[in-house]
Amino acid sequence: MTRRFPDGFLWGAATAAYQVEGSTAADGRGPSIWDTFSRTPGAVLGGHTGDLGTDHYRRFADDVALMADLGLRAYRFSVAWPRVQPTGRGPANQAGLDFYRRLADTLLAHGIDPVVTLYHWDLPQPLEDAGGWPARDTAWRFADYAGLVAGALGDRVPLWTTLNEPWCTAYLGYASGEHAPGVQDPARALAAVHTLNLAHGLGARAVRAAAGDAAQVSVTLNLQVNRAASAAPADVAAKARLDRVANEVFLGPLLDGAYPDEVVAETAHLTDWGFVRDGDLDLVRTRLDALGVNYYTTALVGADGAGAVATAGAGDAGSGEADVQAASPAGTERPPANLVEGVRWRHQPGPRTAMGWVVDPSGLTELLVDLHRRRPDLPLHVTENGAAYPDVVAPDGGVHDADRVGYLHAHVDAVGAALDAGADVRGYFAWSLLDNFEWAYGYERRFGIVHVDYATMARTVKDSGHWYRRLATTGVLPPVTDVAAGEAAGAGVGAGTAAAAG
């Protein structure tokens, strides 16, 4: 049966500022925690940094033309906080805002909606020096920044996202140290969870104060789809504990205005949660117009004990976040499993991407349907979904990424299955538009539907990009073999290759 999506369903692609922009010292931009972290020996594969990214800062006009050729109706990008406030405080750097004004205007001129993420992990370094996300004041600094951006772009942006994957910011940044700023302190990680929740609530209010109360505000979460290793009570209980510390510490405050009592008790050996003050949860729980869902994989969870193996199988379900490892740098189960007792991830069979993540599209249907049942009035967007594979440019000039086409087909079909089950899903954003700086993996892992030659910055649409064009322009799920004749060979700018700008 042909899978047809509703009229008006939003097809887009996503990137993040530090991964693609480059020009990290241009036009008054200050340093971020990722500038610092990527220069730390051993922190990033190959010693790579985001200094060049994909040169999107200078080549954005060509990239927008490429998006239009791909039939995209939306582009989800993040604003670099240190471009707007180089120190994280004070008045806006107008040169930084001007870049995002130009980008938004160019998108709109091509019929593409600018979907703005205010924070995708590039905290200004001076704010980290002052305490970072574990420090309450960072939430108020974020609100000031959000108001500056909304004041400049409020007439151009149909949907705002406050934070991207606070799970990763808190747990990979402050518990395992796999991401910037590289801290290994579980108590500080839990404090960061709360500050991030505060930042969302305060930031949403700041956006509406600057852009008008009708401004549409969302947050994007990489909710974990955990499954119990068996029906044994110990395994089921372990899954529930992990769900609470991975998911409910965000969903509870955002949707219900409360942290689960159980998770407070289960992490009492780390913190007394004294960072939660009277009135905080009223600030966190504010009107949410949509929820962004980033999805890549599932996890198998069991109780710690005989036969339990800390193994690749869970991982951050985020955009190319550091690969799933058997243990955190501290030598224990990686977060958030190491924040609660008696939880271990188990090995999952099945095909895997280059990140080591199991390919399991059924988890996306399950997640979307569960969220809809919990909050039927809350529209959902799949704000990231995609896969890394070892792409190569073929002798014919094309990039024939059949594995990625298959991955996208299966997951878009899973979104359709969620729609069939009644879930209110409004859009899908492929991760990523371009190959880019893939955080702890530098430039070694490729997620793009457009290939980037990092020596020349030339763009070549992969087979997956041609396939996605068919989907975006028709709203009908194409077969995995449906790459138009001649497109796979990259014939011309419109059909395959965009020459690098000067």
Number of CB atoms found within 10 A of residue 213's CB: 9
Name the nearest CA neighbour of 238 among 300, 330, 176: 300
- Is 165 known to be catalytic? yes
The DSSP bridge pattern shows strands 459-461 and 497-498 to be antiparallel
* Identified catalytic residue from 178, 384, 438, 487: 384
Name the nearest CA neighbour of 316 among 156, 452, 167: 167
Please state, in angstroms and as integers, the Cα–Cα distance from residue 163 to each residue in 86, 209, 243, following that order.
19, 18, 20
- Is the bond leading into 230 cis (omega within 30 degrees of zero)? no
407, burial (CB in 10 Å: exposed 0-12, middle 13-18, buried 19+):
buried
Q: Mark residue 71 as left, alpha or beta (left: phi above 0; alpha: psi -120 to 50; beta: remaining).
A: left
Q: How far apart are CA 215 and CA 209, in angstroms?
A: 9
Q: Phi and psi (nearest 5°) for 192?
A: -65, -40
- Is 333 known to be catalytic? no
Query: Residues, the chain, total?
Result: 502
Structure tokens belonging to residue 70:
């791909």
At residue 471, what is the residue type? L
The CA angle 244-420-377, to the nearest 5 degrees, is 55
* Identified catalytic residue from 21, 165, 248, 438: 165
DSSP 391-405: ----TTS----HHHH
Contact between 132 and 116 (Cβ < 8 Å): no
> How far is Cα of residue 194 from the mean position of the Cα atoms in its chain?
19
Q: Which helix (H) or strand (E) holds 75?
A: strand 74-78
Local structure of 136: helix, strand or coil: coil
- List active site positions: 165, 384
